[in-house]
Amino acid sequence: MRKTVGCAAILSVIVSVVATAVSMLGMRSLLTIMNTPADIFDDAYAYIMIICGGIFAQVLYNYLASVLRALGNSRTPLYFLILAALLNIVLDLVFIIQFHAGAAGAAYATVISQASPASSVFCISGRRFRCCT
């Protein structure tokens, strides 16, 4: 099991790096192909680039949550997913209303809210099992 979990961790890092690089390099072309209206193009581009920059946080959370679920702990990932959703709502309000950050602020709120439970689940899962030793 340790070997499988360790290999999955390495694969997750590789997929994260590749997905981030490919998506960030091709995003301007993709938005153009999708006929994104000119008046929202800059906001859409800023938003999606920030979201793409946070792919690692999404993959990390999903990887760790799946490992915990495989070990029979389905509650912890659910609690942290609820935490992330609530944090995203609060941070959206703060970034958009308080800081007037617009679409980029919403993207930052999303990435931050996805990264926080990922790091929390990582800390919890690290205490419960040693997968990479």
| In the predicted structure, residue 130 carries a pLDDT above the cut 70 | no
| In the predicted structure, residue 122 carries a pLDDT above the cut 60 | yes
- Considering the domain boundaries, does residue 11 fall inside one? yes
- Considering the domain boundaries, does residue 119 fall inside one? yes
- Considering the domain boundaries, does residue 117 fall inside one? yes
| In the predicted structure, residue 127 carries a pLDDT above the cut 80 | no
pTM recorded for the entire structure? 0.86
The more confident residue out of 91 and 123 is: 91
| In the predicted structure, residue 133 carries a pLDDT above the cut 60 | no
- Considering the domain boundaries, does residue 133 fall inside one? no
Domain count along the chain: 1
- Continuous segment of H or E residues that includes residue 104: helix 102-128
For residue 90, give Cα distances in angstroms to 10, 94, 102, 117.
Answer: 33, 6, 14, 15
- Considering the domain boundaries, does residue 17 fall inside one? yes
Token pair in block for residue 82: 């609820």
64-75 pLDDT, tens digit per residue, is 888 888 889 888
CB 76 within 8 A of CB 68: yes
- Considering the domain boundaries, does residue 104 fall inside one? yes
Q: By residue range, what is the domain housing residue 93? A: 2-128
- Considering the domain boundaries, does residue 120 fall inside one? yes
- Considering the domain boundaries, does residue 64 fall inside one? yes
What mean pLDDT do residues 30-46 have?
97
